[in-house]
Amino acid sequence: MTARKKSELKPEPEPTVIENYLGWPVVATTIAVRNAGDGLSKGMEIDPEVLAPGSTVIVVLECAVDAHDYKKVKDEDAFELVQVLKAGTALIMDAAVVREALASQAEKLKRAAEKSAGVVRLELTDEDRLLAEHERGEHTELRGGCPECDEEVRLSEEGN
C-alpha cells in the first residue's frame, strides 16, 4: 500500500456544538415520539398487512416537532435535550427503498460506538481503497483508478 503524507489524511469532522440550557451545556439529544401507533393503525386500515412475529419492518413516520424538554444528566452539570415529536402519517415501507440510508446510519452508529471506545480511524482515499481491494484479491478484473491495475495495463501496452 502506498504511504500517504500527513497532509493527505482526512481527520474526523468535529462534533456539532449543542446549545446551552440555563447556562449548562447540552451533552446529548434524544427523541420521544408520541401518537406513533395512531397514524400507522389508520394506514393499516387502508392497506392491511399481517406482520409475522419476529420479522423486522421499516416504519416511516411523518412527525411534527411538538416540544423540547430538558432532563438533567445524572452526576453531571449538563442536560439532555429531549425533542418531543408528534406522529402524523405513518406507513410500512419496503426495506429495499431505504437500504442505503439504513446502511449509512448503521455505519454512523458503529463509528460513534468505536469513537466512544477510543478507536481512531483515518479515512482512506479512493486510491487507497482500490489498492486494499486489489491486495485482498477482491477485484479479479482490471479496474481503472487502481494503481496496481493501471500499472498492469501500462505494462501490457508496452509489451504489445
pLDDT of residue 17: 53
pLDDT of residue 55: 93
pLDDT of residue 15: 46
87 and 63 Cβ atoms separated by less than 8 Å: yes
36 and 66 Cβ atoms separated by less than 8 Å: no
Which value, in Å, is the radius of gyration of the alpha carbons in the chain?
A: 24
Among 84, 78, 106, smallest CA distance to 18 is for: 78
61 and 36 Cβ atoms separated by less than 8 Å: yes
12-32 residue pLDDT tens: 445 455 777 777 788 888 999
pLDDT of residue 3: 45
Backbone region of residue 145 per phi and psi (left: phi > 0; alpha: psi in -120 to 50; beta: other values): left
pLDDT of residue 67: 92
pLDDT of residue 16: 53
pLDDT of residue 85: 94
Q: Provide the grid cell at 24.
A: 449548562
pLDDT of residue 34: 92
Stretches where the chain sits below pLDDT 70 are 1-17, 160
For the chain, the farthest-separated pair of C-alpha atoms sits apart, in whole angstroms, at: 75
pLDDT of residue 160: 61
pLDDT of residue 1: 40
The single-letter DSSP state of residue 146 is -
Among 109, 155, 147, smallest CA distance to 128 is for: 147
Q: What angle do CA 46, 48, 49 make, to 5 degrees?
A: 150
